[in-house]
């Protein structure tokens, strides 16, 4: 949906740049904390959710990006309580199966197992995006609308971006906001924040996003002759093979595939070549699977998970401190506060709380 949210101009307007889970959680929390405000989510992509995406294929759940949440961290978010997610999540690895390591072409069981709780949803982690979107039915969403700049405009912020509703690509639309939450990958955040806090924003450019691809394939169980008695395997440290890991989805999440179907997901490093063919070669060499898969789904991420440097935490603190000189601008997301889904949710919620405080203080000042 493209356009301004309903409401009077007297209502403060908050624009959230980035419609991934951090931006969505910020909108959800902001609505709970400051219901009178208007909220607009702006995203350069055609759909919301960022890297949390997927589908159900012939009864098999395919996650294109992240597929699990650490239970303790997800339960600690406001989202978990506000959306009553307890009744919707399902446990990952209910059989407490081990994880393997691929070393010199052989699979060896790790001596220790993950002791915490992992959670997902019946139709995959992308179901969470659908749940949140349904809860945000009064929030304006603009997709296919990359923001080109943000700049101060008296006591507000002026956002400039191409208007996707108009046929002329050079036509530029502007939006005024009382508060802005930047919940984008680091390169986009750096470009938007550089005119505001140039020195601190420049540090974001050092954050690397190595490309990665997930490849999900399904087979009839009769075509798989190795016992999949684990959650999958990881490449040993120092292993530079193109496939860095393989999740045995049908074992790790038994509800994610019908009986008689084996569902696997591989993680292919880098870009180029044919990721599906690399996956076929991997499962043949490591697990002896030579039959053609029933289906294949490939999700390529030219910019995958950010790799934090040792200086990252200090750089984020410096950026947040510098933004106090730009009242009304806040940051959220995996570029700043952790790459896990619950980390991103909590980051969005903190940004929303800061924005709500800012709006409240402004209202008090205007009334004085």
Q: What is the model's pLDDT at position 165?
A: 47
For residues 306 and 288, give the distance between their C-alpha atoms in angstroms, rounded to a whole number.
33
pLDDT tens-place string over residues 116-154: 999 999 999 999 999 999 999 899 999 999 999 999 999
Q: Where in the chain is the domain with CATH 3.90.660.20?
A: 92-118+210-301
Banded pLDDT at 1 (limits 50, 70, 90): very low
pTM value is: 0.94
Strand, helix or coil at 199?
A: helix
Q: Where in the chain is the domain with CATH 3.50.50.60?
A: 13-50+130-207+308-367
Matching residue, tokens 């947040």: 320
CB burial string 189-207: b at 16+ within 10 A, e below: bbbbbbebbeebbebbeeb
Q: What is the model's pLDDT at position 71?
A: 98
Q: What fold characterizes domain 92-118+210-301?
A: Polyamine Oxidase; Chain A, domain 2 (3.90.660)
Q: Note the CATH number of domain 13-50+130-207+308-367.
A: 3.50.50.60
Strand, helix or coil at 233?
A: strand
Asked if residue 290 has pLDDT above 50, the reply is yes
Q: What is the mean pLDDT of residues 346-360?
A: 97
Asked if residue 2 has pLDDT above 50, the reply is no
Strand, helix or coil at 16?
A: strand
Q: What is the mean pLDDT of residues 69-78?
A: 98
Q: Which residues pair with 329 in a beta bridge?
A: 180
Pair of tokens at residue 107: 């699979």
Say which residues have a Cβ less than 8 Å from residue 36's Cβ, sequence separation at least 6: 11, 12
Strand, helix or coil at 165?
A: coil
Q: What is the model's pLDDT at position 7?
A: 40
DSSP string across 242-268: SEEEEEEHHHHSGGGS-TTEEEEEEEE
Asked if residue 35 has pLDDT above 80, the reply is no
For residues 83 and 115, give the distance between their C-alpha atoms in angstroms, rounded to a whole number.
26
pLDDT tens-place string over residues 303-333: 999 999 999 999 999 999 999 999 999 999 9
For residues 218 and 296, give the distance between their C-alpha atoms in angstroms, rounded to a whole number.
7
Q: Which residues pair with 264 in a beta bridge?
A: 217, 248
Asked if residue 233 has pLDDT above 80, the reply is yes
What's the N-to-C CA distance of the chain in angstroms? 37
User: What mean pLDDT value characterizes the chain?
Assistant: 93
Determine the number of helices (DSSP H) and then strands (DSSP E) in the chain: 10, 20
Q: To which H or E segment does residue 244 belong?
A: strand 243-248
pLDDT tens-place string over residues 325-335: 999 999 999 99
Say which residues have a Cβ less than 8 Å from residue 292's Cβ, sequence separation at least 6: none
Asked if residue 229 has pLDDT above 80, the reply is yes
Asked if residue 238 has pLDDT above 50, the reply is yes
Contact 210, 306 (CB under 8 A): no
Radius of gyration for the chain, computed over Cα atoms and rounded to the nearest angstrom? 22
Q: What is the mean pLDDT of residues 60-67?
A: 98
Q: What is the model's pLDDT at position 164?
A: 52
Asked if residue 367 has pLDDT above 80, the reply is no
């Amino acid at each position: 949906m493209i356009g301004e949210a309903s409401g009077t101009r007297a209502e403060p307007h908050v624009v959230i740049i980035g419609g991934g889970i951090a931006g969505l959680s910020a909108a959800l929390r902001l609505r709970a904390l400051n219901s009178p405000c208007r909220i607009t989510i702006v995203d350069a992509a055609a759909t919301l959710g960022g890297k949390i995406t997927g589908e159900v294929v012939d009864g098999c759940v395919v996650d294109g990006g992240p597929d699990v949440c650490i239970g303790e961290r997800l339960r600690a978010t406001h989202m978990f309580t506000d959306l009553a997610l307890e009744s919707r999540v399902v446990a990952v690895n209910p059989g407490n199966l081990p994880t393997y390591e691929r070393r010199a072409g052989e699979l060896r069981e790790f001596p220790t197992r993950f002791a915490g709780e992992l959670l997902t949803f019946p139709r995959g982690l992308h179901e969470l995006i659908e749940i949140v979107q349904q809860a945000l039915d009064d929030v304006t969403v603009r997709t296919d609308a990359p923001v080109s700049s943000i700049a101060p405009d008296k006591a507000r912020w002026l956002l400039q971006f191409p208007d996707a509703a108009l046929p002329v690509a050079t036509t530029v639309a502007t939006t005024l906001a009382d508060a802005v939450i930047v919940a984008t990958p680091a390169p986009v955040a750096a470009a938007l924040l550089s005119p505001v806090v140039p020195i601190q924003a420049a540090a974001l450019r050092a954050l690397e996003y190595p490309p990665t691809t997930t490849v999900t394939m399904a087979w009839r169980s009769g075509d798989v002759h190795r016992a999949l008695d684990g959650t999958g395997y990881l490449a040993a440290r120092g292993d530079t093979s193109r496939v860095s890991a393989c999740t045995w989805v049908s074992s790790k999440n038994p509800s994610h595939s019908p009986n008689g179907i084996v569902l696997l997901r591989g993680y292919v490093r880098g870009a180029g070549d044919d990721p599906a063919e690399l996956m076929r070669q991997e499962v043949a060499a490591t697990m002896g699977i030579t039959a053609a898969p029933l289906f294949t789904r490939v999700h390529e991420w030219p910019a995958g998970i950010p790799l934090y440097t040792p200086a990252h935490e200090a750089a984020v603190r410096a950026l947040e401190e510098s933004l106090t000189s730009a009242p009304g601008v806040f940051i959220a997301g995996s570029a700043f506060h952790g790459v896990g889904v619950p980390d991103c949710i909590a980051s969005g919620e903190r940004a929303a709380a800061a924005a709500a405080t800012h709006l409240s203080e402004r209202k008090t000042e205007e009334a004085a």
